[in-house]
Chains A and B, each alone.
Chain A
Amino acid sequence: MSESASAEQSRFVLQTVGFDARFPNTNQTRNCFQNYTDYFRCITAKGEDFAPCKQFKKAYHSLCPNEWIAKWDEQRENGTFPASLEP
């Protein structure tokens, strides 16, 4: 059962963001925030379809609580996001 099930599971891959030497400590708050801002800087510079930007998006989705992402998205829309998103 499990073999056939795993075969049809191919749309899910057990993979996540790796270790980041900039954030070696238990505190990962900055890791999440950095990837979030990097993503929006990246798409401002290169456009939303630029494939390497996707890595930042994957990373911040894996690291940031959904509530935080929602709050920051809202702040970006209102122009109150507390960091520059210019590349």
Chain B
Amino acid sequence: MALFISNFNSIFNDAAEPWQLGFQDTAAPGFTGLVTLHNTIGFYLIVISFAVFWVIFSIAYYYNSNNHPIALKYLTHGTVIELIWTISPAFILIAIAFPSFRLLYLMDEVISPTLTIKVVGHQWYWSYEYSDFVTDQGESIDFDSYMIPESDLELGQFRLLDVDNKLIIPVDCHIRLIVTGADVIHSYAVPSLGLKLDCVPGRLNQVSFLAERPGTFYGQCSEICGVWHGFMPIVVEAVSSPDFLVWIDSASQ
């Protein structure tokens, strides 16, 4: 679907926009699953809401004390209707639980990752460590990622969203993130990739994802972590694997 749309030269929505209500465009299978689950449940939610409100309003309208002065004497009990409106919601909840647990466990799965990246949340910036590779000096590749202050923004950059050093990842590769916090709890979130994981000091959390298309994906820290919580954005740039190797080569020098 994403490829079909891109044939029309459209631009993907990979960053939050003012007053946005809907989702950003998906770039990972996990997020596609989340959006589909949301939309499917949303459809039945609307159907059920209409049915329930229709029943409530019609009862209030047809059986009020003016229309039906003695309804209160007879509309007090009904075993059949009690059974229906107890058992059918139970089945609806089960019907929601199955696809939702399926998706939850699918997203938890770490499928033979190609690359492990460590993400550390600090007050108030992110740092990334690519320790699968070592530099010429034998050290691991790591860097900090700070927000670009408003005064330094260049034309086309996002205010409060762009950073100086992006997280670079190869496209179409299973990537494992190991996230942790250095001081307080942070949360690493990138909507387009379906990522949101708490960064807890002293604990390592892992999450797996796959970027389906090249692009720049924006996210923000999602756990109140101090006064500059709103000023530690996340930028993930997905590039082709050869380009990624070129980048890792230049980063290692």
Q: Using a CB–CB distance below 8 Å, which chain A residues touch chain B?
A: 2-3, 5-6, 9, 12, 14-19, 26-29, 31-32, 58, 61-67
Within 8 A of A (CB), among B133-187: 133, 140, 142, 170, 173, 176, 178, 180, 182
Whether A9 contacts B249 by the Cβ 8 Å rule is: yes
Central interface residue in B118, B203, B248, by most chain A CB within 10 Å: B118
Whether A63 contacts B132 by the Cβ 8 Å rule is: no
Determine how close the nearest CB of chain B comes to the CB of A75; give it in whole angstroms. Answer: 15
As a 0/1 sequence over residues 94 to 130 of chain B, the CB contacts with chain A under 8 angstroms (1 = contact) are 0000000000000010111111101010000000010
Determine how close the nearest CB of chain A comes to the CB of B209; give it in whole angstroms. Answer: 13
Known: A2-B242, A6-B245, A9-B245. A63 touches B204 (CB 8 A): yes
* A-B CB proximity, top 4 nearest: A2-B242, A9-B245, A6-B242, A16-B116
Residues of B within 8 A of A16 (CB): 113-116, 132, 176
B249 partner, pick from A12, A62, A65, beta carbons under 8 A: A12
Whether B206 contacts A26 by the Cβ 8 Å rule is: yes
Whether A65 contacts B173 by the Cβ 8 Å rule is: no
Instruction: Give Cα A17 to B174, complex, Å.
Output: 12
- Is the C-beta of B49 less than 8 angstroms from some C-beta in chain A? no
Instruction: Give Cα A17 to B206, complex, Å.
Output: 13
Known: A66-B140, A67-B182. A26 touches B120 (CB 8 A): no
Whether A14 contacts B240 by the Cβ 8 Å rule is: no
Whether A31 contacts B204 by the Cβ 8 Å rule is: yes
Within 8 A of A (CB), among B199-219: 202-207
Determine how close the nearest CB of chain B comes to the CB of A41; give it in whole angstroms. Answer: 21
Central interface residue in B114, B131, B173, B180, by most chain A CB within 10 Å: B131
